[in-house]
Chain A
Amino acid sequence: MLKVALRHAFPGFTLDAAFEAPAGLTALFGQSGSGKTTIVNAVAGLLRPSSGRVTVGDTVLTDSDRGIFLPPHRRGIGYVFQEARLFPHLTVRQNLLFGHWFTAPGRTSDLSRVVEMLGIGHLLARRPAALSGGERQRVALGRAILSHPRLLLMDEPLAALDQPRKEEILPYLERLRDHAGLPILYVSHSTAEVARLATTVVLVDGGRVTAAGPVADMLSDPATAPLFGSSDIGAILAARVDAQEADGLTRLATSSGPLFLPRVAAPVGAPLRLRILAQDVMIATAAPQGISALNVIPARVRDLTDSGGSVLVRLEAGDQVILARITARSARALHLAPGLAVHAVLKAVSVAPGTIGFSAG
């Protein structure tokens, strides 16, 4: 568990942030200039805050009251920067082993394990100049992991990459989150990344933490959801691959009932996390007949929130929450009210492939 409390004044900007990051991936989410990178730099020891306390487990990294400030090289924190920052004069292999050499010399088995996980075996002899952006970022990730950190920091590691390169790296980040048992603090201003990767979200605005909580709650809570951008609002559903059907659909099991999606490339039994955008969900008060949408999920209205012309409806289905955005006129016409039994209607094709991620369960 990472605990952070920081206060630092810059000309024209004051950082005053406190939050806790449990195991898993904690996303620091906020606009550019909100202070996310400053927080991460203070955790890494690259910035000495005028006052504050940073601890990982039992280890105190910064404590201004007791005059403790560990230098970066003694913190045991891996840092993946936005621009990979690989050493240009070293080969990929030498880059990967740079931190390893200082933290665990002699343990050579780690290299092959990390190289295999990141799929960078064919790059080992190359120099960073001969790598693509995505390859560079994977090497930077491997380099940080191989320094045997107790915490991994990532400052928008995908921001400089185009969509295909992002897709190339996301599975590695999911694997790292689920299998390495390493807490990750991840800076992002992309809702899609947060929805796919985060277990916990910390909202940062103007140098302050405005809200924090589990990702599914934060993305579906009408109080916090609009902060992720109106077209990006959507609930996260936990699902499991149930069957691959002959007509190209994949049947998923969720606690809200079965869900049919276009072919999901995952083995039967694989746990998934789906992001269902509120604007893709329709609400019907009676079970619809003669409708092309495959997914009709029985649900109950929990609450309605006015959000600038449209209404955000929070639905309970099983033990999960689904968000729907409808017009105020529809909400009036359907007499929607908390407690009302309804059906959430979802087109199979409206769950975009990029929004499906693997999860530990």
Chain B
Amino acid sequence: MTDWLTPEAWQAVRLSLKVSLWAVAVSLPAGILVAYALARWRFPGHGLLNGLVHLPLVLPPVVTGYLLLLTFGRRGTVGQWLDQIGIVFAFRWTGAALAAAIMAFPLMVRAIRLAIEAVDPKLEQAASTLGAPRPWVFLTVTLPLILPGILAGAILAFAKAIGEFGATITFVSNIPGQTQTLPSAIYAFLQVPGGEAAAARLVVIAVVIAMAGLFLSEWLSRLIARRIRGT
């Protein structure tokens, strides 16, 4: 394995997996909450929230990265405060995870929102007449029914996070072992003479991860959907 992949490239693959897993794991509860709010609640600022969530999808990634730098950089508005309690995003792998999470958030929310909108509110009404308080209705009825959607959203977000490049390199740069994710490594290899072979190997890995993610998502969704339909 080490013959085929240089230690530097191998490091980039592992870092990418770590960054993407953390990005999805930490943003998933927020994604479910936002999707639920957008699907089921009517409140002032509904349109604004929807716009904000989708903003990273339509902004140039470099703009998102720059905005992250302004906000979460060491001298950024929020970054200053976080620095004092020991949380640093700038030029760390945590920053790469933050960038990946924000870039993947719209895809995650869209998938989960679709699943929530497909749940008949009449079932939730029935649960409440049976004595279930609102949070329990969500946990025992809504959540199990939207599980395929959550899963699809999470895997889609993971694939997006693996591939995130523009916002990441703008926000946390391209430091091997620290912030050099798989796409950043491919980019770096392509910048040096004779790096095409190493870049090509990483491209193969990227394709394999992406395809595996898609297949896994399809398979799990079908499995859960079958279980829910009870057939």
Contacts and interface: CB of A to CB of B under 8 A. Distances in A.
Interface of A: 44-46, 71-79, 81, 83, 85, 87-89, 91, 98-99, 102-103, 126-130, 143-144, 147
Contact of A72 (B120, B129, B140, B144): B129
Interface in B83-128: 120, 122-123, 125-128
B23 to A, nearest CB: 29
Given A85-B122, A88-B229, A129-B231, A98 B129 contact: no
Contacts of B45: none
A78 B134 CA distance: 17
A129 B136 contact: no
A143 B130 contact: yes
A76 B136 CA distance: 16
B141 interface: yes
B228 A46 contact: no
Interface of B: 120, 122-123, 125-134, 136-137, 140-141, 144-145, 227-231
Nearest to B137: A73
B132 A77 contact: no
A143 B127 CA distance: 10
B130 A44 contact: no
Contact of B230 (A44, A77, A127, A144): A127
Contacts of B122: 81, 83, 85
A81 B132 CA distance: 17
A98 B126 CA distance: 10
A144 B130 CA distance: 7
A135 B88 CA distance: 59
A99 B231 contact: no
Given A85-B122, A89-B227, A127-B230, A71 B127 contact: no
A102 B123 contact: no
B230 A99 contact: no
A99 B141 CA distance: 12
A80 B136 CA distance: 20
A128 B120 CA distance: 15
A303 B140 CA distance: 59
Given A73-B132, A81-B122, A99-B129, 5 more contacts: A46-B128, A76-B131, A83-B122, A85-B122, A129-B230
Query: Which 4 A/B pairs are nearest by Cβ-Cβ distance?
Result: A127-B230, A99-B130, A102-B131, A79-B129
